[in-house]
A and B are shown apart, each in its own frame.
Chain A
Amino acid sequence: MKLSRTGYGALALATTSALLLAGCASGGSSNGGTTTSGAITVGTTEVVTSLDPAGAYDNGSFAVMTNVYPFLLNNPVGSSDVEPDIAVSAEFTTPTEYTVVLKDGLTFANGNELTSSDVKFTFDRQLAIADENGPSSLLANLDSIDVVDDTTVVFNLKEGNDQTFPQVLSSPVGPIVDEDVFPADELATTADIVAGKPFAGPYTLESFDQGNLAAYAANDVYQGLWGAPANDAVNVKYFANESNLSQAIETKAVDVAFRSLSATDIEKFESTDGLNVITGPGGEIRYIVFNFAIQPYGSATAEADEAKALAVRQAAADLIDREKISEQVFKGTYTPLYSYVPEGLTGATESLLGLYGDGNGGADAERAAERLAAAGVETPVVLNLQYAGERYGAASSEEYAQIKAQLETDGLFTVNLQSTEWGQFTKDRVEDMYPAHQLGWFPDYSDADNYLTPFFLEGGFLFNHYNNEEVNTLLREQLVTPDAAERTAKIEQIQDLVAADLSTLPMLQGAQVAVAVDGVDGVTLDPSFKFRFGTLTK
């Protein structure tokens, strides 16, 4: 074929395009990404819904807020308990008055002074906006706030001696905002927040491309508990899914990958040269809820029998081997949970460990059979068990297949397993449709109460018809017990009582896992469940 002028033109175009693309490819980074020099790049799959503390109540948004906004109280590194952050003191001055005194000379990154007026504005604003996606419900016990002087504020509480209130001030409802930047009665836009620089936390947010990239710089005016950041700048790259985040850390396109990587990838990275896996206790828990009305022998069933119903729950607890599920399904990224308050928090116990199974965490089918026989329960017990893989991850199907297999050991149970779409699941679970079902929880703040009161006080949000007056009394008491040791004892007692009743069956506690490339240090994963950029070094 003889080429014409047009033919040569087409060939030239094609060749140029190919060369250009190839040239560009070689001009790009060889490892699939280029991190900015000096800055540490963190990759995550979390989603930021808003930079305005009044409009977001999710992990992704709180992770940003933790690093850019100041808090009155916060968790020191390594602790789940709280201490004054930008405050010099914070204490109950009367049972219903919680007085906070700010440090002198606090300012925001934009130069505005941070005074008690900003503090009052922050919390009044949360209550005024009460956004449906916001955390204002955490302020249910707050009646009003008085400004005493520029550095002193008094929180007037509805119920006295609320021991969770200091924790609430360190929670997603607690970031202090600049009254000159944020509107009093509506949410601020992301663009206005970034432009207004209302940051008095360890970092300022230099740019924020929502869902894609955030650039942080160390904040010179930060005077809080965590001290000056150990690095000058951090970039956070947001990924759509675990797989893409995994590839990014594997190709070293990011320096640190945090939340969430699949169990399989984490296991692989543990033996990958140049990558280091860092773990810490996590706040997330997975558990099974028993519906006391419609479970086998439940109060609303034809053969209602409280003793038999309890035996069924306890036999189920005897048959569960959490360690096996942890290892085989989650490769250790979730660890066995033997009580209601997870490991790492003040008041955590292992109440179920001695009560059920072989006493060491393993299953004991013989004990389960004896328990059922003693109560006169006919076997196999038919149990309809529901789970929501859409909500709790793809591994749920494998997790619940394991649970089914364990419960059906020696023919003691016949488990009908079913997965339901999340929207339908949330409706059905409170309408007595599921005798037993899966749920998960991530805490609002790092206090044991957050794993107890919402669940067990007069049935809590579970709506599973569990109500134990002794538990209710203890829950109310611990909430207002100022003495830490006395309060901890009550929290432990509550767990022992619920472990005997088995309103829910605690299954697993999620570990926090990060993967860092060689040369990056300071990844700190502690029971505060807060990821601090300021400890990272490269």
Chain B
Amino acid sequence: MTVDTIAADAKPLAVKSSKGGGLGRYLLWRALLIIPTVFILVTMVFLLMRTIGDPITASVGDRLPPDELQRRISEAGYDRPILVQYFEYLGQVLTGNFGTTISDNRAVTEVLLTFGSATLELVFYTLIVAFIVGIPLGMLAAYYRDRGPDAGLRVFAIFTYATPVFFSGLLLKLIFGIWLGWLPVSGRASIATELQIQMLPNPSGFYLIDAIRLGSLEAVGDVLSHAILPALTLGLMTAGVFLRLVRTNMIGTLGREYIDSGRSRGVGEFRLVTKHAYRPALIPIITVIGLQIALLLGGAVLTESTFEWKGLGFQLAYYLSARDFIAVQGIVALLAVIVALSNFVVDVLAALIDPRVRY
């Protein structure tokens, strides 16, 4: 199939577009789907959290007589019918009130802002690692298809993708933190830097930005050095997916006639690979990024706990152990919104790049 035939294939779709409402209707439909997605997730979390006990029992279940324990549970309203609690919660959420955490008495919105920025920063570093490692290596594997470098890279991809993040995280900590002593093993910055950041007026919570605001190269270096191991842990997992995806798609596009045509016209191999073959292969990657956001956030729970990266995943693990309904519901709702929105953005991008997606 040539470029011309692809364009020819697209013509009937364009006709259908004028009848069916096109991009606007598609986007509206995708946006509306966010609401039931989030609603279903929040409802499931609400119900599941109530099957694992209440926070008061979790905290003082082994030091109070049953009647006193029950009195406290009743005072907190945890023994009311679940539907009453559910509708009360929904009412609060609809008015933007996510409540106050039970276990540490913090506004959930404050928790989301404070820890959400840390998670966002980790995801940012992770995607950088995933792109820098996954895409060039995928291109290389495709170019050397079925030869030594390809085989090696495929094994590398499977290894990075299949290794659980808590294991790869511990391994990296052990090697680069404990044995070699090159990199910090935990936290988002050293204590000295964190104290400086805390003194900033209105810190953003995004440590790299805050370190730059401090005007200290040492602080920036400190923040980045703390990010290396967690970013590698989570980023390599994602890079493995990207590598395999880029390779597969690149092999498809490298076999196209227009590539041979370009080669016969004297276009350089590097340019053929990085421009002519690579760009069409990007479309499925954009779609996969949307799915990867959900996986990244799931991986962040383990990565953040392993590296003391105090983000949403880290806090979620703590609140789950404390049976803090309110906090868990708030965090999961935010994660659901992030995943739904990122998928929406991916759908929009995919629709813009490839009109066939709109149908």
Chain A residues close to B by CB (< 8 Å): 1-4, 6-7, 10, 13-14, 17, 20-21, 23-37, 41, 47-50, 52, 55, 57-58, 132-133, 137, 187, 190, 207, 209-213, 215, 235, 237, 239-241, 244, 247-248, 250-251, 253, 391, 421-427, 430, 439-441, 454, 460-461, 463
Q: Which residues of A contact B64 (CB under 8 A)?
A: 461
Residue in chain A with minimal CB distance to B188: A212
B95 to chain A, nearest CB (A): 21
Contact indicator A424/B224 (Cβ below 8 Å): no
Contact indicator B61/A422 (Cβ below 8 Å): yes
Separation of A199 and B203 alpha carbons in the complex (Å): 25
Residue in chain B with minimal CB distance to A48: B104
B182 adjacent to chain A (CB < 8 Å): yes
Knowing A29-B184, A240-B317 touch, does A439 contact B76 (C-beta < 8 A)? no
Knowing A31-B181, A35-B192, A423-B57 touch, does A244 contact B226 (C-beta < 8 A)? no
Separation of A133 and B64 alpha carbons in the complex (Å): 13
Give the residue of A33, A187, A421 whose beta carbon is less than 8 angstroms from that of B52.
A421
Contact indicator A210/B106 (Cβ below 8 Å): yes
Separation of A237 and B195 alpha carbons in the complex (Å): 11
Separation of A343 and B193 alpha carbons in the complex (Å): 43
B residues 215-231 near A (Cβ < 8 Å) are 217-218, 220-222, 224-226, 228
Give the residue of A10, A49, A211, A237 whose beta carbon is less than 8 angstroms from that of B274.
A10
Contact indicator B53/A23 (Cβ below 8 Å): no
B36 adjacent to chain A (CB < 8 Å): no
B residues 169-217 near A (Cβ < 8 Å) are 173, 177-178, 181-187, 190-195, 198-199, 217
Contact indicator B186/A21 (Cβ below 8 Å): no
Give the residue of A1, A25, A240, A460 whose beta carbon is less than 8 angstroms from that of B270.
A1
Given contacts A47-B318, A237-B191, A461-B64, 20 further A-B contacts (CB under 8 A): A1-B270, A4-B271, A13-B132, A17-B132, A25-B224, A27-B221, A32-B178, A33-B184, A33-B185, A34-B190, A132-B56, A132-B75, A207-B198, A215-B198, A239-B186, A240-B317, A248-B185, A425-B61, A430-B65, A463-B65
Number of interface residues of B (CB under 8 A): 70
A32 to chain B, nearest CB (A): 4
A59 to chain B, nearest CB (A): 12
**Most-contacted residue by chain A among B54, B65, B199 (CB, 10 A):** B65
B180 to chain A, nearest CB (A): 10
Residue in chain A with minimal CB distance to B195: A215
Q: Which residues of B contact A187 (CB under 8 A)?
A: 105
Q: Could you say which of B19-27, B154-162, B308-316 contacts chain A?
A: B308-316
Q: Which 9 A-B pairs have the closest CB atoms?
A: A423-B53, A426-B61, A28-B225, A27-B221, A34-B190, A24-B221, A24-B224, A461-B65, A430-B66
Pairs across A and B, CB under 8 Å, 20 listed:
A7-B270, A21-B225, A28-B226, A29-B222, A32-B178, A32-B186, A33-B190, A52-B105, A133-B59, A133-B103, A207-B198, A209-B194, A209-B198, A211-B104, A239-B186, A251-B178, A421-B53, A426-B69, A430-B65, A461-B68
Encode contact with A along B46-72: 1 for CB under 8 Å, 0 otherwise: 000000111011111111111011001
Residue in chain B with minimal CB distance to A2: B268
Separation of A25 and B323 alpha carbons in the complex (Å): 38
Contact indicator A241/B103 (Cβ below 8 Å): no
Residue in chain B with minimal CB distance to A390: B321
B275 adjacent to chain A (CB < 8 Å): yes
Q: Which residues of B contact A24 (CB under 8 A)?
A: 220-222, 224-225, 228
Separation of A55 and B59 alpha carbons in the complex (Å): 13
A107 to chain B, nearest CB (A): 25
Knowing A426-B61, A460-B65 touch, does A36 contact B270 (C-beta < 8 A)? no
